[in-house]
Amino acid sequence: MAGWVVTLALGVSSASLVVLGVRRDTRAEDATIPVWLGEASDWRTAPLRVWSVGPYTLFLSTVNFDRARVGSKFRGEVQVMVRHPGGATILDQRFSPATIDHTMPYNYGDTKFATVQLEPARIRRWTVAARVTRADPQFAGVRSEIKLWRDRVDPGMGGLITYVLIIPAIVFLLFAVFLSAVVARRGRMAPLVLSITITLAFLLALVS
The predicted-structure confidence for 148-171, as pLDDT tens digits, reads as follows 998 776 655 555 666 677 788 888
Residues 172 and 14 sit within 8 Å (Cβ to Cβ): yes
- Integer Cα distance of 141 and 109 in angstroms: 16
Q: Output phi, psi for 119, to 5 deg.
A: -90, 155
Quick check: pTM over 0.85?
no
Flag whether pLDDT at 45 surpasses 80.
yes
Q: Residue 47 pairs with which residues in a beta bridge?
A: 127
Q: How far lies 149's CA from each of 25, 68, 152, 160, in Å?
A: 12, 30, 9, 21
Query: Are the beta carbons of 78 and 35 closer than 8 angstroms?
Result: yes
**Closest alpha carbon to 162 in 27, 16, 50, 12:** 16
Q: CB neighbours (10 Å) of residue 23? A: 16
Structural domain boundaries of the chain?
2-22+159-207, 28-154
Question: Which string of DSSP letters, residue by residue, matches 6-22?
Answer: HHHHHHHHHHHHHHHHH
Q: In terms of pLDDT, which residue wins out, 58 or 164?
A: 58
CATH classification (class only), 28-154: mainly beta
What angle, rounded to 10 degrees, do the helices at 166-184 and 2-25 form?
A: 150
Rounded mean pLDDT of 90-95?
A: 95
Signed CA dihedral, 196, 198, 201, 202: sign only: negative
- pLDDT tens, position by position, 97-150: 999 999 999 999 999 999 999 988 777 889 999 999 999 999 999 999 999 998
Q: Give the list of residues 6+ apart from residue 185 with CB closer than 8 angstroms, or none.
A: none
